[in-house]
Amino acid sequence: MTADSEPRWLSSPEMAAWLNLTQLLMLLPSALDRQLRDDAGIPHAYYQILAMLSNDPSRSMRMTDLARMVGTTTSRLSHAVASLEQRGWVIRQACSFDRRGQIASLTDAGMAVLAAAAPGHVAEVRRLIFDNLSEAEVEQLRAITGKILPAVTA
C-alpha cells in the first residue's frame, strides 16, 4: 500500500466473520489441547506429529516436511520430536539423500499411543466442529479453508 492510498477497511459482514474466525483460532487449539492432556496425557502438538507420521505409508517423514505439515518451525518440531523420542514414540534417523536432513519415524509404541488417544480426540473434534454443521456446511468449510490455506502457506 502506498502512503497516499486508503486502506481497504473491512465491511461489517467481513469484520463479523473476521472476529468469529480469530476467536475460533484462539479458543479451538486450547480446547483440543485440554482434551488430549486430560484424556491421553499428551499435548495437541504431540498428537499432531504422531498423526501426521501415521498418515504416511512408511510412518516416516523428513523433519522439514513434517514441520510444514504440522504448522511449526523446524526448531520447535525438533524440540517436540526429542521429547517424543525420549518416550519411545518416535525415532530420528539421518536422511539418505540429504546429509543435513533427518527422518522422523513413528514407532509401534507411538502408534499405540495415537490409537489410544484418537477416539477421544475425534469425538472432541466432532463435538466442537462437525456436530454443529450440516453436510453442506462441512463442504463449505472445506471449500473456504481450501481457498484461504494457499495464501497463508505461501
Total number of domains constituting the chain: 1
pLDDT of residue 6: 87
pLDDT band at 2, cuts 50/70/90? low
Q: In which region does residue 64 sit, left (phi positive, over 0), alpha (psi from -120 to 50) or beta (all else)?
A: alpha
Q: Give percent above pLDDT 90 in the chain.
A: 86
In terms of residue numbers, what domain contains 102? 40-153
State whether residue 37 is helix, strand or coil: helix
The reply to whether 85 falls in a domain is: yes
The string of pLDDT tens digits covering residues 53-103 is 999 999 999 999 999 999 899 999 999 999 999 999 999 998 877 777 899
Cβ-based neighbour number of residue 68 at 10 Å? 16
Rounded to an integer, what distance in angstroms lies between the CA atom of residue 106 and that of residue 92? 9
Which residue(s) pair with 4 in the sheet? none
Q: Tell whether 1 is covered by a domain.
A: no
Average pLDDT over residues 119-145: 97
Average pLDDT over residues 28-40: 96
| Residue 4, in any domain of the structure | no
Domain of 105, CATH number, reads: 1.10.10.10
Q: How far apart are CA 80 and CA 49, in angstroms?
A: 9
Q: What average pLDDT score do residues 3-12 get? A: 87
41 grid coordinates: 496425557
Q: Is the pLDDT of residue 46 over 80?
A: yes
The per-residue pLDDT for 84 is 97
Mean pLDDT of the chain: 94
The full 3-state SS of 112-153, as one line of letters, equals HHHHHHHHHHHHHHHHHCHHHCCHHHHHHHHHHHHHHHHHHH
Please compute the mean of the pLDDT values over residues 35-44 and round it to a whole number.
Answer: 96
Please report whether residue 9 resides in a domain.
Answer: no
Rg (CA), the chain: 19
Indicate if the pLDDT at residue 34 is higher than 90: yes
- pTM, rounded to two decimals: 0.85
Within a domain: 23: no
Residue 35 lies in a domain: no
Nearest Cα neighbor of 116 from 22, 50, 20 is 50
Q: Is residue 11 part of a domain?
A: no
Tell me if 30 is assigned to some domain: no
Q: Where are the alpha helices (DSSP H) in the chain?
A: 12-40, 44-55, 63-70, 74-86, 108-128, 135-153
